[in-house]
Structure 1
Amino acid sequence: MGDALELLLRQHQLIKTLFAQTLDATATAEREANFRTLRRLLAVHETAEEEIIHPRARTEIEDGASVVSARLREEHEAKQQLAELESLDIASPEFEKGLAQLREDVIAHAEHEEQEEFSLLRHELEPRQLRAMRRAVEIAESLAPTRPHPGVESVEANLLVGSFAAMLDRARDAITKPQSA
């Protein structure tokens, strides 16, 4: 089963794979399907980190407040980039350029989390705590918005806006899902 950090690390790898598959896709429909999957994973993954991992890191690791603040700034910027990508034609050079930049930024963000947050949490918390956090991450992801919402990067904002945003996102996803999906 693993713990919360193992789950998030596996998702980091999947995110990298989805970026590559989206950028490498030659057919528009394939690129769109890959992007939709990537967008959803990024949205739920970041929400879970914002609700479960970052608050714990803020209190458990040395200089946690500044580490978490830096990660939240990166997450905000990535959400803005992702929202901008949604407004572009998926077959356009602008989309491809924007997605390549987002990939660079998201990979750098994931590396910061892994080095400055996850490794320190693994040192500070007991294995049973990390296993319990996994279930909390899974629940947060199951209730999270499936699209980017810049400005919703704190536990408080996720609790106030997240449920409503998730409901709207999931309705939008159902309406816009291609018939072949």
Structure 2
Amino acid sequence: MGTLTKQAALKTATKPLLAGKATAKAATTASAWSLRAMRALGGENVVDVLTRQHRQIRLGFLQAALPGPWRRRNFDRLMRLLAVHEAAEEAHVHPVARKALRHGRELAARRRDEEKRAKELLIALWRTGPDGSGYLRRLNEVRRAVSQHAAREEREEFQALRKAVSLPRLRMLGAEVKLTQAYAPTRPHRLINNEATNKLAAPILGPVDRVLDAVHRRVTT
């Protein structure tokens, strides 16, 4: 066999090996990047992230009901927390529950229906505002709907996710939730209420909402 023929045969024989090494290297790099990103975001599992936010939301309702000069600020903070919290759940958590849990499809559908009803009340509260007539009544309506929804999530969905999904996946999901909340819309939008619409709308409505928030803060301060 000539020298050129040997070199060609050697090159052909090593192609699969090189391709396999390249694929393995890419997978390792992606995995390392994911781990670094997860560590940067705290490595907290998604159930702990969302349960803590449920506590913050319950406190936020109490603060938003208080009279005085801080009511507007407390109201805006509560609206923002509710908006980004639900956006992350709809985009990441309910889809995982639908696939991973027993009766997950029905469970996720019930949570989405609850969120749609709560969002209708939330939009009415947003339009009323902390200085509008009937504010406390609307605030209490939203508080009841959100509290009942959160309790069902923790009892029916979160506990099951802890058992059905591995801890590394729960931690990665926690990182995904935090990333989504960093750019999600900060106010309720009627038609943004499922995985697809949240993922499509967030890069557009999120920045728009944040610009409007900044303008509002300048006007009111």
Q: Which bracket does the TM-score occupy, shorter chain normalised?
A: over 0.9
Matches of 2:58 and 2:120, distance apart in 1: 19
Compute the displacement of 1:160 (Å): 2.2
Counterpart-to-counterpart distance in 2, 1:49 and 1:69: 13
Question: Which has the higher Rg, Structure 1 or Structure 2?
Answer: 2
Q: Give the distance between the partners of 1:32 and 1:178, measured in 2 at CA.
A: 13
1:119 corresponding residue in structure 2:
159
> CA offset at residue 124 of structure 1?
0.3
How many residue pairs were aligned?
Answer: 179
What corresponds to 2:169 in structure 1? 129
Using the alignment, how far apart are the partners of 1:86 and 1:116 within structure 2?
Answer: 29
Please give the root-mean-square deviation of Cα atoms over the aligned residues, in Å. Answer: 1.5
User: What's the counterpart of residue 90 of structure 2?
Assistant: 50
Q: Kindly indicate whether residue 35 of structure 2 is the aligned counterpart of residue 26 of structure 1.
A: no
Any runs of at least 4 consecutive aligned residues in structure 1 with deviations exceeding 3 A, and if so which? Answer: 178-181
116-125 vs 92-101, greater mean Cα deviation: 92-101
TM-score w.r.t. length of structure 2: 0.77
The correspondence of residues 128-147 of structure 1 with structure 2, limited to 5 A, is 128-147=168-187
Matched with 1:167 is 207
- Percentage of matched positions with identical amino acids: 34
Shift of 1:125: 0.9
List per-residue Cα deviations over 1:7-34 (Å, max 9, x = no partner): 10000000000001111x111x311110
CA deviation digits over 1:107-139, x for unaligned, max 9?
000011111111101010111111111111111
Higher relative contact order (CA 8 A, sep 6+): 1
**Residue in 1 aligned with 2:51?**
9
Paired residues for 1:76-87 under 5 Å: 76-87=116-127
State the Cα deviation string for residues 38-75 of structure 1 (Å, max 9, x = none): 00000001011111100000001111111111111111
Segments of 5+ residues of structure 1 without an aligned counterpart are none
Question: What is the TM-score when the length of structure 1 is the normalising length?
Answer: 0.93
Q: What letter corresponds to residue 77 of structure 1 in structure 2?
A: R
In 1: Cα distance, 2:146 partner to 2:102 partner? 24
Query: 2:67 is aligned with what amino acid?
Result: T
